Amino acid sequence: MADENLQPVFQIQRIYLKDLSLEQPNSPAIFLEQEAPTIEVSLDVGAEAIADGIYESTVTITVTAKVKDKVAFLVEGKQGGIFEARNIPADQMDPLLGIGCPNIIYPYLRSNIADVITRAGFPPVHLAEINFEVFYQQRSQALAEQAATAGTPIGNQ
């Protein structure tokens, strides 16, 4: 019976829309433009412990559409999830929070972003699938390089 308490536990407690904003600084004139907008997308993920064995994971997406040099719209959405994670080996917690949880949250955010863009009067932007494992590895590598650079005394290169 005591062995059951040591079994790894991973459960979704809640998925929720934490923040959503829409800006259309050049409406209604932007609707008269015939040129297709250029779309820029930025992504960020975050995670933090909120109680013993309970973690919040977030995915933030910013979509900016421009026609020439004018912003057609800017949408930022942050989707959150609360997850229970207990008895997970320490070396697996960071990848779980940086890869596994964002994979669960992202489809909800993707849908919310497409919906708000459509409701704003624009054709929907269907965000591509994201390989959070590659994103996690790139981010870890960039942080390691920053730490290595920060540890190098100036003038001793």
Per-residue DSSP letters for 97-155?
IIIIHHHHHHHHHHHHHHHHHHHTTS----PPP--HHHHHHHHHHHHHHHHHHHTSPTT
Tell which wins on pLDDT, 100 or 140.
Answer: 100
If you average pLDDT over residues 75-93, what whole number do you get? 96
Phi, psi values for residue 141, rounded to 5°:
-65, -45
Q: Are 23 and 73 in contact (CB under 8 A)?
A: yes
Q: pLDDT band at residue 157, thresholds of 50, 70 and 90?
A: very low
Q: What is the pTM for the complete model shown?
A: 0.85
Tell which wins on pLDDT, 100 or 151.
Answer: 100
Give the rounded distance of the alpha carbon of 65 from its chain centre. 18
In this predicted structure, the answer to whether residue 84 has a pLDDT above a threshold of 60 is yes
| H/E run at residue 17 | strand 9-23
Mean pLDDT of the chain: 91
pLDDT of 151 reads: 65
| H/E run at residue 81 | strand 70-86
Give the rounded distance of the alpha carbon of 10 from its chain centre. 20
* Model confidence pLDDT, tens digit, residues 107-137: 999 999 999 999 999 998 999 999 999 999 9
| Topology classification of domain 2-144 | Bacterial Protein-export protein SecB (3.10.420)
